[in-house]
Amino acid sequence: MKNFSWKIALLWTLPLLVVGFFLWQGTFTTPTASSGLSGNTASTRMTYGRFLDYLNSDRVTSVELYDNGRTAIVQAIDPELDNRLQKLRVDLPANSPELIAKLRDADVNFEYHPAGNEGAVWGLLGNLLFPVILIGALFFLFRRSNNMPGGPGQAMNFGKSKAKFQMEAKTGIMFDDVAGIDEAKEELQEVVTFLKQPERFTAVGAKIPKGVLLVGPPGTGKTLLAKAIAGEASVPFFSISGSEFVEMFVGVGASRVRDLFKKAKENAPCLIFIDEIDAVGRQRGAGIGGGNDEREQTLNQLLTEMDGFEGNTGIIIIAATNRADVLDSALMRPGRFDRQVMVDNPDIKGRLEILEVHARDKKIAPEVSLNAIARRTPGFSGADLANLLNEAAILTARRRKEAVTIHEIDDAVDRVVAGMEGTPLTDGKSKRLIAYHEIGHAIVGTLVKDHDPVQKVTLIPRGQAQGLTWFIPSEDQGLISRSQLMARIAGAMGGRAAEEEIFGSDEVTTGAGGDLQQVSEMARQMVTVYGMSDLGPIALGGGQGDQVFLGAGLTSRAEYSEEVASRIDDQVRQIAEHGHQLARKIIRENREVIDRLVDLLIEKETIDGEELKQIVSEYAEVPEKERFVPQI
């Protein structure tokens, strides 16, 4: 509110001062007639030509000149008024030197009244006084707003660092509040110990690391770890975002880096946390032309401050990014960022720990198993799990329940993964077609041995999908076998295969568009990246998909011939067609159970995975899939 008030004062004060200045000039410095003219102002005006006629006719008896000869009060005999004497006012031209001679020749008495010098005095005062008042008012406003965030006084601090400084950071986050990333916590606990008890390390010749780079996908807890370090270390703490260094003016970012490290050296030992460092630390010269622009100058200054000629003893820099692949190589070398800590998505044990942390302040029903939720959410980050429980709590409040139940958890998982629930389908033909499509995915996924088990099939639209088939991985898979990839391709082709077998090739729909893209991507990676084709165990990707800069691929070329490219396309087509034919074969051989499942799905709109498996087992032999039993 204070920031808003000085802006209002500034907007009102400046126009008032300007208007007052011009009023002053108009009132006191405009040349005016002397006091004599104001006392002898005639009510009747006479033109200059008529005045000359009167003068030539000897009807003018006296003339008084005012305003430096620009105005005359004339006493003349007016024949139209019975030759009575009348006072008339005449506006004389600027240049009329012959008038005095004519007056003398006509023997007319005339007097010259010089203009007073009051206007000049007031003009001089106005020209000096108001600029002084204006400058004083502006100086007062700028000085008063100097300490206000965003005030005009901040222009003086344009090159100063915007880092937030805390002598003892009170983030409210400790290491106990960070779960699911134990390896990263151990690495960073050493940094805290180094700051608190440096003698333990210096006694054996160890040096404090200069920088720790936290790398990982979004939402895995990188910023949360930095807050925990700040809360545990009890040392001065600076926090800033990488984007706050860079401005449109070249040199400002470098100036802010210098100012940041100057303040840090004054408060050493201390911590500096730079979030999203890729905003300022991208590779120099990347793209077309490169150039010594503002971002590159800022990066150069950062490199110099981290490990330059002077050094910065006692300062530890912690940075976070999810794009380590675009960072400059000079920034990544030992001596600058000595450690790179990978903060990845948690495993099932980590997900359980994260759920326990976020469930502390929520009312969870006793029958809800956090262990089961952890098994159902492979690939979820810490932020995803926090959002999951929050969405479940919102649904609980909306449904006016006392505690979060498993139904809210299920709906929250579906919403986080697939989006908001849409309006259920009412059209019978479209609903039956979508039911066959989804049952096609489910039946193939159930009967193919290496496919993930089905969790549920639903006709309730979510996001862009009109229906969904959910699969739950049997384990947290770091490595995927060829048979598993082939099974996933067959399962993805199940929807299109069901449309072809049930309705015919002329009635296939666009519903399989996303499935076909997924199949094409998996098949091409099998051929070009993983060496899972007849071309042999060679990588043919050429690394082009990893280029992130504008001009990086302009001069590069494919590392294989056109003949090999044609063979790659053939192999991709063969893999996709193999999955397609396998899916069609399963659909043909299990038409009876598919019809039954479709009728049940249309009736209930959702079929649980266990119920689906039980029904399928009545018609065909369901392969036993390995279930992952985590050790928690």
The Cα 105–Cα 102 span in angstroms is: 5
The Cα 354–Cα 383 span in angstroms is: 9
C-alpha neighbours within 13 Å on the C-beta side of residue 625: 23
Q: To the nearest 10°, the Cα dihedral for 513, 469, 359, 398?
A: 90
Token reading at 370: 């956090």
The Cα 373–Cα 159 span in angstroms is: 50
353 is catalytic: no
The Cα 59–Cα 51 span in angstroms is: 9
Q: How many CB atoms lie within 10 A of CB 119?
A: 14
Token reading at 159: 């090159």
The Cα 439–Cα 587 span in angstroms is: 10
At residue 319, the 3 state secondary structure works out as strand
Task: List all residues 6 or more positions away from 112 whose beta carbon is below 8 Å from its beta carbon.
Answer: 65, 69
State the DSSP string of 527-554: HHTS--STT-S----TTGGG--STTTTS
The Cα 382–Cα 221 span in angstroms is: 7
Cα angle: 506, vertex 507, 510; to 5 degrees: 110
At 4, phi and psi to the nearest 5? -70, -35
Token reading at 163: 């880092």
At residue 449, the 3 state secondary structure works out as coil
Q: Are 431 and 459 in contact (CB under 8 A)?
A: yes
First to last CA, the chain: 53
Q: Are 76 and 59 in contact (CB under 8 A)?
A: yes
Closest to 321 (Cα-Cα) out of 242, 433, 402, 390: 242
Indicate the burial class of 545 (C-beta count within 10 angstroms; 0-12, 13-18, 19 or more): exposed
For 303, the enclosing helix (H) or strand (E) is: helix 294-307
Q: Are 216 and 342 in contact (CB under 8 A)?
A: yes
Residue written as token pair 């198993």? 369
Q: Point out which residues pair with 471 in neighbouring strands.
A: 454
Catalytic-labelled residue, pool 438, 499, 500, 501: 438
At residue 74, the 3 state secondary structure works out as strand
Query: Positive or negative, the Cα torsion across 475, 481, 486, 489?
Result: positive
The Cα 289–Cα 281 span in angstroms is: 18
The Cα 295–Cα 248 span in angstroms is: 9
Closest to 228 (Cα-Cα) out of 214, 210, 244: 214
Active-site residue set? 438
